[in-house]
Structure formats: structure tokens, C-alpha cells
């Protein structure tokens, strides 16, 4: 990322890592945060309470990478914990995993924290299983200074995948299914434009 080469850049911005499921978003998120940790930066990582797939205390990637995190129920709690920790020792970087699972106010909170000179690294799905924009990520695409959109490999044909197919009993989920269902790979597949089946 060439923004690090600009010495006039003031500290405090938003980096969004997005794409479909199995694109390596969480792996990139953890890798980036760990790089800052190794450089002795004070890093504070949050994950939504709803996401208990692998661990309550850590953010885990599908490949097994992990980073310690604080579980939060909403954006208000993120800001409260950030202010408390920042008062003890200045926070340099915050990370927020699976931002689409948090309330809509989280985008304003992330922006507020970035305004205070903190680098905010945020990870989330760009589209739901119906191929519609996911809440929070749609706004962050506009708000973030830097966006990395990652693709996966299509489970059906091996091409580049940009969509997430929810599978229930071996068939694509119907359109009336709830948007958020927490699960691992047994209920989701990455699909390309041509193999993706629009829920009806």
C-alpha cells in the first residue's frame, strides 16, 4: 500500500477489508494487525458477540490464524472500551471483525475513532447471500480511505468467486431465510457470477 510512502499523511484513517466468504478477509485482517503489534504499536481488536464460530475470546480465520480480541454487543461498547483503554495507554490501532454483524451506528463510531488519530482496520462481507449490499460495509466502502476487495475460488467451477451462496440441505437457501445465520463452511459456498443461484 503506497499511502505509507507519503510522509505528509496525518495518522488516523479507515482500512476496509471486504469480499465474499472464504476470500481470506480474516487472514489479511489478522496479518495486518499482527504486523502493527510486532512494531510495538498498541492494538485493540473487537469482535461481535454474535460470532462464536471458533472462539469467544479470539478472532479466528478459517485457516486457523488467530488474534486476541474483546467481544462486544454493540458499537457503544466499542467506543466505551476504546476510551477506557486509550486513557490508560494510547491506542494506535483498532481492529473490528465482521462489522456487518454490528449495529448501524458502528460506522460513525469508527469514523470518530479515526478522527482521533487512530488507524481503524475493519473486516466484513460486502454482500449477503441474496447478493445485496451488507449493512455497515456499504457505508464503509464510501467512508474508508483504503479498500481491499478480496475474491475467493468458486466452489462449483474453480473460477474467481465474488458471491456467497448459502446452502440448506444441499440446496441454495430461499429468499425468505434470515440474512444473518452464524455458521462455518457447511452452510456457505463461495460462487462466481455464473455459478451463483439467486435465492427465490
Active site (catalytic) residues = 98
The single-letter DSSP state of residue 24 is S
Q: Which of 114, 108, 110, 107 is closest to 138 using CA atoms?
A: 107
Residues with Cβ within 8 Å of residue 125, at least 6 apart in sequence = 18, 19, 20, 21, 25, 98, 100, 134, 137, 164
Beta bridge partners, 67, equal 59
**CB of 121 within 8 A of CB of 99?**
no
**CB of 95 within 8 A of CB of 43?**
yes
Amino acid at each position: 500500500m503506497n499511502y505509507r510512502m507519503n510522509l505528509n499523511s496525518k495518522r488516523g484513517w479507515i482500512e476496509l477489508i471486504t469480499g465474499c466468504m472464504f476470500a481470506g478477509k480474516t487472514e489479511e485482517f489478522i496479518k495486518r494487525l499482527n504486523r502493527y503489534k510486532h512494531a510495538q504499536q498498541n492494538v485493540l481488536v473487537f469482535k461481535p458477540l454474535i460470532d462464536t464460530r471458533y472462539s469467544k475470546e479470539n478472532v479466528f480465520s478459517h485457516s486457523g490464524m488467530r488474534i486476541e480480541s474483546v467481544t462486544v454487543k454493540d458499537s457503544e461498547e466499542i467506543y466505551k472500551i476504546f476510551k477506557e483503554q486509550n486513557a490508560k495507554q494510547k491506542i494506535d490501532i483498532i481492529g473490528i471483525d465482521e462489522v456487518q454483524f454490528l449495529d448501524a451506528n458502528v460506522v460513525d463510531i469508527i469514523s470518530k475513532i479515526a478522527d482521533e488519530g487512530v488507524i481503524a482496520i475493519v473486516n466484513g462481507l460486502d454482500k449477503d447471500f441474496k447478493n445485496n449490499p451488507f449493512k455497515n460495509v456499504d457505508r464503509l466502502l464510501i467512508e474508508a480511505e483504503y479498500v481491499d476487495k478480496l475474491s475467493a475460488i468458486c466452489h462449483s467451477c474453480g473460477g474467481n468467486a465474488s458471491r456467497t451462496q448459502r446452502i440448506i440441505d444441499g440446496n441454495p437457501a430461499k429468499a425468505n431465510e434470515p440474512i444473518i445465520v452464524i455458521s462455518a463452511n457447511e452452510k456457505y459456498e463461495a460462487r462466481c457470477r455464473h455459478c451463483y443461484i439467486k435465492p427465490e
